[in-house]
Chain A
């Protein structure tokens, strides 16, 4: 027999000697490895934090095909899927619970009422304990990074921007992270303070975590007053610091000026994006043709709303996750037309190949969009 035949025969024999059953050689944990795009949960508790803020405790729905929840890092968000008046939409909320709660298949999100906010009003007014809620897996890059971050962490929170830091505070209290955290929490009045009791308790108990609240529109004993200033923060600045910010854009602007005075390097400052603002000079309604895999739909989109919102209003099940242009989950190809894109994180090749992120794209002409769904 020639050598080629011999080599083939040897292989054949080895294969013929092995089990005929389907292979069963997966040894990595399925719950970590196979993260789903949708997890089915139930709301098991609702807690009123202020007049306009509620914390929802979500638990994995044991009767669904996702009887468990994925792990997360403090600072990450989930995106909730809701149907309001027949319209499917999503919103991203930072997780406010400790990452260890995920091990018990529980998450907490804290939602503040937004004026005319479709989803926040729905969640605060309509939803009850026992209701089902579909959510995404945890996502986002914001948070403490133990390898590169400094031991002294200064968090700057504005309004509902406190939520990721509550998760981080709990993670530090539980020993998940070993660092010192000072949270400067800027809020209008005493009544607007979210997590009052928890903050008090943490301040009493913890050596590593401290919350400092400043009330911008009210003077009250035991609280700072006014917008954050260099003087307020200075006592907490050490030789090396990591700054994490979550709040409205104005807060970032004013903070950047302050931080410049402390000479904090770029790599030590990070912030979470969760607002997309765009005000066109003149309001126009454009035509949008959405080319999907097996159908084409023609819809309209006003130039002060995003293409994603217009598609959702028209009943197109467009995918979305972060809704601030970062994650790329909604990416689509702009076949024709122009858009105004606010703060999208695009890869170089995405730009060259006409990809846009509809969650932050406002039409600037009639549009033809390719969206593979």
Chain B
């Protein structure tokens, strides 16, 4: 069977790519190995709880007043998602710094609070805001392919080759304020001295001006909505379709499934990582792809404990939406402590604070997460797998209880533990690194975008968390849109010639 485009993987990137192509009347087929769409944007049920596997804060969706790119693109397809605002309600603790603060209220409250902690924060932070805006606009111009856009955005050019840490120092923010502001690095996974300022600024911009939102319904509802619309627009999704090979045949690409069936298209878009594809799906050697992957560092490994608690969050005294504990608020120092199984960096989310319907009445969902840097999991085999998972989950729960003086254990009704192996199995991510290659040094999102044209391979593109824009549902979604826009442009250019 012949298609214009075949997309491998119905994750958010794949669905987004499929939507844009179907919307533009292309003959498109999405092949998904699981029986539901969404990849990690899915749910699982345990007892009376339905847990979201990954997405809690949807960035770049925005609101009616501050419309984000995802909302804008979905509108084109006549799709709208029900969302809830996420207020600033974060507790951050750092052991070495004896720091334990709550960020609450509005952005101005936050700035005042920073000023109280470190004088000089207020003016420098205010000066930072227009720079964030400028960089955001520069990125828009860059993505739209505007020529000579550099001259309009001097700060973009100035900070293009600077790390977030260097740039914030240059902008005279007090060092302690930089580290506090930078707590979000953990969501991206790169320390501030390796995270490019452009990437950092764009993330901050979305965070401050668009504000993250929560989905009113569960994760899988979003994935199914996208999938349904894709099919309404004429695209096809085949589930339970495990791709085993991509090969070249008479100027076409042929995608072979595990069961032997094959489909043909001019263009292939992979919603699996480049790393996975070159190792598992293609026999040819794309030297550039190999080199690109060999130069990279994979992101940290995520370990998640999903808890269904049999009390309300008020009764449990879980008053904050998010909790972070660092060994050291300085991300550069902190990440060095994360090369072992037992460290103190944890993150917790209480979805019920934002969404009362997250779990049944008088119950609470608590998600505990931590990250491991490097090959910490290399000695885990089937002999010690379950035991290790249990020990680590137990340690994580106890760490949370001790860090924030909140009792959890006796209220746990349901528990599920996801290790890097779980992520590797469910979405074929290499080493279970669900955030794809780390955004660091020469390989931040900005570098990938700038070099996209000269690094692209004929008829084979990549979308999703491992691709251009990095991890995060907003980035995955945007990658699907951006890549297909490029491909459609190329197609019409060729037609004109």
Contacts and interface: CB of A to CB of B under 8 A. Distances in A.
Interface in B194-248: 217-218, 220-221, 224, 228, 238-241
A32 B421 CA distance: 7
B195 to A, nearest CB: 15
A26 interface: yes
A64 to B, nearest CB: 15
A331 B425 contact: no
B295 A147 contact: no
A372 B257 CA distance: 13
B382 A372 contact: no
Contacts of B386: 71, 73, 99
B35, B221, B382, B431 interface centre (most CB from chain A within 10 Å): B382
A345 B51 CA distance: 13
A16 interface: yes
Nearest to B357: A348
Contacts of A319: 35, 240
A16 B45 CA distance: 47
A253 interface: no
A267 B310 contact: yes
Given A4-B150, A4-B160, A32-B380, A349 B218 contact: yes
Contact of B217 (A21, A294, A348): A348
A31 B294 contact: no
Interface in A1-49: 2-4, 6-8, 10-12, 14-23, 25-29, 31-35
A283 interface: no
A348 B275 CA distance: 34
Interface stretch (B124-132, B342-350, B407-415, B473-481): B407-415
B291 A19 contact: yes
Interface string B263-296: 0000000000001001100000101101111110
B236 to A, nearest CB: 9
A329 interface: yes
Contact of B290 (A22, A34, A147, A352): A22
20 contacts: A3-B160, A6-B161, A7-B160, A8-B454, A25-B430, A27-B377, A28-B377, A70-B382, A103-B383, A146-B390, A147-B393, A147-B394, A147-B412, A148-B409, A176-B387, A328-B36, A348-B217, A349-B221, A372-B35, A373-B240
Interface of B: 35-36, 43, 45-46, 50, 150, 157, 160-161, 217-218, 220-221, 224, 228, 238-241, 261, 275, 278-279, 285, 287-288, 290-295, 298, 310, 375, 377-378, 380-383, 385-387, 390, 393-394, 397, 409, 412-415, 420-421, 424-425, 430-432, 441-443, 446-447, 450-451, 454
Interface of A: 2-4, 6-8, 10-12, 14-23, 25-29, 31-35, 70-71, 73, 99, 102-103, 141, 145-148, 176, 265-267, 293-294, 319, 328-329, 331, 345-350, 352-353, 372-373
Nearest 9 Cβ contacts at the A-B interface:
A267-B413, A71-B382, A18-B295, A372-B239, A349-B221, A18-B294, A23-B293, A33-B424, A27-B378
